[in-house]
Amino acid sequence: MSKVVKNAQEAVKEIKNGSTVMFGGFGLCGIPENCINALVANNAQDLFCISNNAGVDEFGLGLLLRKHQMKKMTASYVGENKEFERQLLSGELEVELIPQGTLAERIRAGGFGIPAFFVPAGFGTEIQGNKEIRDFNGKPHVLELGMTADFAIVKAWKGDTNGNLIYRHTANNFNNMMASAGKITIAEVEELVPAGELEPNQIHTPGIFVQKIFQGTDYEKRIEFITEQ
């Protein structure tokens, strides 16, 4: 069975109302632009979105927000987005904030079959909540749970028809872990090549984690803060 699908519309068509969806990316870097646009068109409602950030007003996950397709957002940092602020303050959107390293590890653990683990982050803060605390090496740690999703949507630089993925520069970020944590993982890539053309030593995400793959088009790759010398 081929993993290759025609385009983003076909890749996201099974994403229904109420689905839990992970989106790779850090800020606007390495986000699955094509699939986000396709989800806006597909109009799935009440999505539970998991992503490090929430995009900006006119780009990335901000597009799903604008159309009120999100019910809940799990992230570590959600600044730089006015519509997000508005929906959060008005109660239209539920938000869960998780320390970035804990979020990354919960996704990695979920995808790797580890139901729970202890980390020091959040001890003594409001993140601790009612979570179990245990001392290791004389230091208190907080029990955190692995996290999976109905769908994980990742963006890579290069991919092959077996689903093997290679990321470019800091556009890897959450994509690699999320690929393992989706019951169905959709990869959009800038360049899709036949299996055998990527150098096996260079693969970041082995194809076993990827169920659907397609070559994206018209990448805008917006930059949030252009800083130059």
Point out which residues bind other proteins (CB under 8 A).
26-30, 52, 75-80, 85, 88-89, 97, 99-102, 104-105, 107-108, 119-127, 157, 167-177, 204, 221-229
Contact 140, 191 (CB under 8 A): no
The distance of closest approach from Cβ of residue 213 to other proteins in the complex, given in angstroms and rounded to an integer, is: 18
b/e map 139-150, b = 16+ CB within 10 Å: eebbebebbbbb
Render 79-122 in DSSP notation, one character per residue: -S-HHHHHHHHHTSSEEEE--HHHHHHHHHHHHTT--EEEESTT
All residues at 6 or more sequence positions from 115 whose CB lies less than 8 Å from its CB, including other chains: 109, 145, 146
CA distance 142 to 37: 37
The distance of closest approach from Cβ of residue 95 to other proteins in the complex, given in angstroms and rounded to an integer, is: 8
- Residue (15 or 185) nearer to other proteins, CB: 185
- Residue (105 or 160) nearer to other proteins, CB: 105
- Residue (66 or 222) nearer to other proteins, CB: 222
The distance of closest approach from Cβ of residue 176 to other proteins in the complex, given in angstroms and rounded to an integer, is: 4
The distance of closest approach from Cβ of residue 82 to other proteins in the complex, given in angstroms and rounded to an integer, is: 10
- Residue (71 or 222) nearer to other proteins, CB: 222
